[in-house]
Amino acid sequence: DRPGSRYKGALAEGWTLPKHTFDRAKEQGVSVDSSAYWDYYGRVLVLDPKDNSVRVFIEGGPYVTDANSVMNRYPEKHLSNPDGLGFLYVNGKTFMVIEEDLNGVTWGRMPNTGMRGTNCEAWLLDMSKAPTIDNLYRLAISPYGSEITGFASYDDGNVVLINSQHPDNATISDAAAKNSLTFAISGLKQLVSSIDNDGDKQAESGIRVFPNPTSSHVQFS
């Protein structure tokens, strides 16, 4: 949340920080190694191996101005602490898959409901569109307390497998319900068609579990 002390140590060791860190510090009216320097949401960066330059691809947010205040209506889309990246190729289009691992719940990273755990999300970004929060499309939400730790696709991109690690819902006593898991989402070709048509609502098909019947209980936390 406040990386100034780490940046101070890195600078003392001779490290070079990317330009966006200094730009952010200037906007905040502080130095990059100040304890007042904040960076709550993170961003996706692009590295150019030709010259080792780094630039911002998409910023996290939107920003709030107080640790515990949230807009009257929590934003429909909020990108926080992107951790894993990948690409999905479906219907002749390329999507970046952005996987969250929230560092905290304040400053709008979670709705201010009194719950202290996190729900991380996986987002799709059409690479033919501008890299903005408005152009993100929510692909999945992880169980309470977990993070999203990877994905893979098959069947020409129509199916994705998503890892969700260490869920921790204190209201559930069954330890088995807190296991990490890999779940599948199918119908990506139809989903992408919906995105292309400005989010036209598709008929809901319900939840299906594979294999069916399952060999053990399936619990959602």
Q: Are 45 and 55 in contact (CB under 8 A)?
A: yes
Are the C-beta atoms of residues 163 and 120 closer than 8 Å to each other? Answer: no
DSSP 18: -
Confidence class of residue 178 from pLDDT cuts 50, 70 and 90? confident
Is residue 19 classed as helix, strand or coil in its secondary structure? helix
Q: Which amino acid, 218?
A: V
Cα–Cα distance, 155 to 71 (Å, whole number): 41
Q: Render pLDDT for 111-128 as a digit per residue (tens, 0 to 9).
A: 877 777 888 999 999 999
- φ, ψ (nearest 5 deg) of residue 21: -65, -40
Q: How far is CA 77 from CA 87, 129, 139, 162, in A?
A: 20, 16, 12, 20
Share of the chain above pLDDT 70, in %: 86
Distance of CA 98 to the CA centre of its chain: 5
How many whole angstroms from its chain centre is CA 115?
19
Are 143 and 220 a contacting pair, CB within 8 Å?
Answer: yes
pLDDT of residue 221: 42
pLDDT of residue 160: 95
Which helix (H) or strand (E) segment holds residue 58: the answer is strand 53-59
Q: How many residues does the chain have?
A: 221
pLDDT, tens only, 49-105:
999 899 999 999 998 888 887 777 788 899 999 999 999 999 999 999 999 999 998
The per-residue pLDDT for range 195-209, each reduced to its tens digit, is 877 655 545 555 555
Q: Which ranges of 58-106 does DSSP label H, i.e. alpha helix?
A: none
Note the helical H segments in 167-211: 188-196
DSSP per residue, 28-43? HTS-TTSTT---SS-E
